[in-house]
Structure 1
Amino acid sequence: MSPRQRSARRRVRLRPADLVRLGTIGPRTRRLRTALSALGIALGIAAVVAVTGIAGSHQEHLLRRLDQLGSNLITVTPGKGSDQQPVPLPPTAERMLGAIGPVQQVTATGATRAEVYRNDLVPPQQTNSITVLAARPNLLEVLHARMGSGRWLDGAGENLPVTVLGDRTAERLGVTAPGERVWLGGQWYTVLGVLAPNELAPELATTALVGWPQAVAHLGADGTAATVYLRAHPERVPQVQAVAAASADPASPATVAVSRPSDLLAARAETRSALTGLVLALAGVALLVGGVGIANTMVVGVMERRGEIGLRRALGARGGQIAAQFLLEAVLTGLVGGVGGLLLGVLTVYGYALAQGWPAAVPPYTLLAGPAVAVVVAAVAGIYPALRAARASPTEALRSA
């Protein structure tokens, strides 16, 4: 070969379009092997997405459960003055507390002067320690309470002589089913329903609840809240606690008692921190396992084609062109496998969460990290053996075929 021919050969370059077409020859002509390689990559990425998504869904489920238990519930009640006697909340307390920015829901109960008995023949002193309270319509919603039987006070029931009993109240009065009547405030009231036990507000178990307008009109209630229940944003509970007393009674905040669900808040923060660490650890392990699988698939695929590499070198292909070809094949295979693994992992997470009754939560970073990791790892795993084969002489590459 003359020096001019050798110089022309060294100057041969592949256009980008030719390189792309050359890089897709392998996936198009070796479909089964390409499909198996992409499947191995997809399973690795699916494992990463599934592990992190299931752990994230479990975390979301636990956090919601803690919120339901009252980690963001604040109770505001009258405190004691200098004479150690309870100081009623101002009439504006409920409205002012509801105006606090992070407060999501607010409700209240109000005191009355009425007593409740099984019938009009029971002696007045036998009250069974039952309290009659006025209740807002959204009390059950804010406290995440439920009815054991019957129904709750609706818009029409607020103005009628009807009542909802706590579970222990119904037991003490001998009420077995809705529709029975009790003697309340000197007149007969129909029992609409009985509350189920509630861990957030156990004080309601020994109460008889009536509509707010009915209590004000007939049972001596003055319309002032005796207890205000707040649902605040879970991340802003400490800030709401800090201003709740001053908001309820700006003139005398020291006479307002504000509950502090510190134990539940600490449990929520600890749970979130621990589970976040667990998700990251599992993601790291899954990425490591998936990366090893991807690397093994790409190395084997490239080494199997050393004969082809030797033949192309013998026909004049440059080492850089061969390396670029196999790098492009690795990237395409990694991209296909990464996208497929992402879809498979997301479907797995949603299916598992649906079966467990959890909220599905796929960490957003995995939606981009999955395919990106597959492409990067596939490229890193594919370029080394490709460069090694490209540096080999044609005779050695053909001999190994």
Structure 2
Amino acid sequence: MSAVKVKVKANVKVQASDRSKASRPRVKRYDPRDLVSEALLGILTRPLRAALTTLGTVLGITTLVITLGVAATAANQITTRFDALSATTVSVTAPPPQPGSADPPLLDWDGPDQVARLAGVTGVAALAEAPVGVDLPVRASAVDDPTLAGASIPVVAATAGLPAAVRGTVTAGRFFDAGMVARHDRVAVLGDQAAKLLGVTDLAEAPAVFVGGQPFTVIGVLGDIAREQFLAATVILPSTTAHDRLGFGAPGRVLITTALGAAGQVAAQAPVALAPGRSAGLTVVAPPSLERARKSVAGDTNALFLVLGLVSLVVGAVGIANVTLVTVVERTGEIGLRRALGAARRHIAYQFLLESTGVGLVGGVIGAALGVIGVVAVSAAHDWTPVLDVRLALAAPVAGAVVGLAAGVYPAVRAARREPVDALRAGL
């Protein structure tokens, strides 16, 4: 009899529990429109808090867009300045002649005429330094005073196209031309520093300098040399005159200036033009790829600024998480009431996730707009051309939404785990 009573009581308790569960309404399907309206209402109910929460994401996205945009713009500016000089210079060098070798030199003084015909060449000149072991003291006076040593000024021989090849400017007088080279005229051009050392300040009376005891009329001063700046402290002689008077041999280098973007092609063709059939013996120095340099600079700057932008995003995400968690605590009664009315745990989680995602999305949109404006403003202040990847501006709102979604996961899970009775009791 006792066993039968226990079974009857158990059945009665199970039926009572079933009736209790059946009496509690359950929502099997939650309309997405209701979910959106609840989330929107939860955001707009506390507009000041929502605005402050959104501000964290706005600052993070704005910082990210500005830093990446300014980094790309700065990289473009750096490589543009690099293009102006380094990316348009090519140098072809021949090895020094071997003693006793019967082979003709790889370079000769007619080589620049062959290179000048190549497409993209804007300036070319051949250059030779004084023969090894030959002492060429330079004086500004013919008086041979044993107490005064000649100035230690190098002497070089060059062709008439040297100013264009080194991007120099004739600051006084003129540079020797092809006619002077052909006539073997005894003229000289001084680098601006060499002119100061020798005290040559006025060319009106055709001053002379003495190289190795031989006079040469100074006809010009070359200054503002952008390439091969050592020429500023040299005496420059026509190639034919230096060969006849001082024993200069074949040129050791050919300096080439190209149009922007033509350096690679000229570097490949110049050795063949200078030494047909023997171009492998020449050494060519060409600028690196502009695209490679641009990517390298952009990559370095982007890596630095990306860290700063991500830190700002993390700060914004922490702010969203904190405010959402506080909201969960303050809305405990609302959560309990909704659970009591039949809302499932997933419905509560969806609502808070949607709220945090919406805050992040709005912050991403505002941050992207402010970031683009910031990049343009910085570029305009420095007279730069703004460079901004459109994909970055379009991805910024998505990044804000993802940050908001990630920040709302823990508060949403915590809200969903609240029991209806506990939530109602805590909300009273």
CA deviation after TM superposition for structure 1 residue 75, in Å: 0.8
1:33-44 equivalence runs, <5 A: 33-44=49-60
Q: Of 229, 234, 243, which aligns to 2:256?
A: 229
Who is 1:32 aligned against? Answer: 48
Aligned equivalents of 1:351, 1:209: Cα separation in 2: 52
Of stretches 343-352 and 317-326 in structure 1, the one that deviates more from structure 2 is 343-352
CA contact (8 A) 1:294 1:378 kept: yes
For residues 259-338 of structure 1, what are the structure 2 equivalents within 5 Å? 259=285, 272=296, 276=299, 279-280=302-303, 283-284=306-307, 286-288=309-311, 290-305=313-328, 306=331, 307-338=333-364
Q: Distance in 2 between matches of 1:323 and 1:152?
A: 84
SS in 1 for 2:59: helix
Q: Secondary structure at the match of 1:258?
A: strand
Q: Which residue of 2 aligns with 1:14?
A: 31
Hey, what's the Cα distance between the residues in 2 that align with 1:160 and 1:242?
31
**Secondary structure of the corresponding residue to residue 403 of structure 2:** helix
Q: Cα offset for 1:176? A: 4.2
Secondary structure of 2:31's match? Answer: coil
| 1:52, distance to aligned residue in structure 2 (A) | 5.0
Q: Larger C-alpha radius of gyration, 1 or 2?
A: 2
Find out whether 1:202 has 2:230 as its counterpart: yes
C-alpha deviation, 1:36, in angstroms: 0.9
TM-score, L = length of structure 1: 0.62
Q: Report matched runs for 1:149-160 at 5 Å.
A: none
Q: Aligned-residue CA RMSD in angstroms?
A: 5.7
Q: Which amino acid aligns with 1:88?
A: L
- How far, CA to CA, are the matches of 1:176 and 1:56 in structure 2? 48
In structure 2, the CA distance between the partners of 1:35 and 1:171, relative to structure 1 (3 Å rule), is same
User: How far did residue 37 of structure 1 move?
Assistant: 1.0
Q: Distance in 2 between matches of 1:59 and 1:81?
A: 43
Secondary structure at 2:408's aligned position in 1?
helix
Q: Distance in 2 between matches of 1:360 and 1:276?
A: 17
Shift of 1:230: 5.0
1:166–1:196 Cα contact (<8 Å) kept: no
Question: Residue 158 and residue 134 in structure 1: after superposition, are their counterparts in 2 closer, same or farther (change >3 A)?
Answer: closer
How far off is 1:166 after superposition?
A: 3.1
1:219 alignment counterpart = none
Taking the aligned partners of 1:207 and 1:346, their CA distance within structure 2 comes to: 54
Q: 1:339 maps to which residue?
A: 365
Mapped to 1, the partners of 2:237 and 2:354 lie a distance apart of 72
Of residues 385, 390, 395, the one that matches 2:416 is 390
Q: Give the Å deviation of 1:94.
A: 6.7
Q: 1:337 is aligned with what amino acid?
A: G
Q: Which residue identity does 2:49 align to in structure 1?
A: R
Provide the rounded CA distance (Å) in 2 between the counterparts of 1:204 and 1:256: 26
Structure 1 distance, partners of 2:114, 2:320, is 65
Q: Provide closer, same or farther for how the CA distance between residues 190 and 249 of structure 1 changes in structure 2, counting only shifts above 3 A.
A: closer
Q: Distance in 1 between matches of 2:117 and 2:357?
A: 56
Shift of 1:379: 0.2
Q: Residue deviations 1:361-380, cap 9 Å, x none?
A: 66787546644433222102
Unaligned stretches of 5+ residues in structure 1: 211-223
The question of 1:108 aligning with 2:124 is answered yes
* Deviation string, structure 1 residues 5-54 (Cα, Å, up to 9, x no partner): 96985334304x44434433334443222221111112223344455556
Q: Find the counterpart in structure 2 of residue 245 from structure 1.
A: 271
- What does 1:65-76 align with in structure 2 at a 5 Å threshold? 70=86, 73-76=89-92
Q: What's the counterpart of residue 88 of structure 1?
A: 107
* Alpha-carbon displacement from aligned partner over 1:173-228 (angstroms, at most 9, x marks no partner): 65548x957579x999975x752254644236536699xxxxxxxxxxxxx99723
Distance 2:231 2:159 in 1: 11
Partner of 1:220: none
TM alignment of 1:367-378, pairs within 5 A? 367=393, 370-378=396-404
SS in 2 for 1:304: helix
Query: Aligned partners of 1:281 and 1:176: how far apart in 2?
Result: 51
Identity %: 29
96 and 160 in structure 1: CA distance in 2 versus 1, 3 angstrom threshold: closer
